[in-house]
Amino acid sequence: MTRCVCPGSFDPVTLGHLDIVRRARSLYDEVVVAVLVNPNKSGLFTPAERVALIEGEVGDLDGVSVLTFEAQLLVDVCRSTAAGAIVKGLRGETDYSYELPMAVMNRHLAGIETLFLPSDPEFAQVSSSLIKEVARYGGDVSRFVPPAVDEALTARFTTSG
């Protein structure tokens, strides 16, 4: 049985993230989607909301589970879930510069390897922060997020401005 972790903030999940989770599942028997929450950063969606939005898309896939972790090292998440590798998407050079030091550090801390999957070019420019900024001011992000996330963004920005 092989198991990997797909970590991220997922605030909120995008079609780019979901593509990586599905592709990770084609490589591993089990995928733990780990919603990592930084307690010093206030997100748009609560950890429970992020988990529910991800579960709505991949929760029925065999071998995929979605869990949330607060204030923890990713290597400890890997240990507690008995995952043998970390899988992340790479959209381009900026991601590589951001991800490489973490991949090296995680290997140093726990001997755990990080596998990078090239993002589908369709989603190469999609990030949760950009999605939030565009949605906040009423822009159409429906091509880049699942319908449930689109609705959640609209509801959030309609009620809280």
Decide if 91 is catalytic.
yes
User: If binding is defined by CB under 6 A, does position 110 make contact with ligand PNS?
Assistant: no
Provide the CB-side half-sphere exposure for 3 (13 A, CA). 16
Backbone torsions φ then ψ of 131, nearest 5 degrees = -55, -45
Decide if 41 is catalytic.
yes
Backbone torsions φ then ψ of 83, nearest 5 degrees = -90, 145
User: Given 23, 50, 88, 91, which residue is catalytic?
Assistant: 91
Q: How far apart are the first and last CA of the chain?
A: 46
Backbone torsions φ then ψ of 39, nearest 5 degrees = -65, -20
* Member of 7, 12, 47, 146 binding ligand PNS (CB under 6 A): 7
Amino acid at 161: G
User: If binding is defined by CB under 6 A, does position 119 make contact with ligand PNS?
Assistant: no
- What number of other Cβ atoms are within 10 A of residue 4's Cβ? 26
User: If binding is defined by CB under 6 A, does position 73 make contact with ligand PNS?
Assistant: yes
User: If binding is defined by CB under 6 A, does position 9 make contact with ligand PNS?
Assistant: yes
User: If binding is defined by CB under 6 A, does position 33 make contact with ligand PNS?
Assistant: no
User: Given 23, 119, 128, 132, which residue is catalytic?
Assistant: 128
* Member of 66, 74, 83, 112 binding ligand PNS (CB under 6 A): 74
Question: Which active-site residues does the annotation give?
Answer: 17, 41, 91, 128
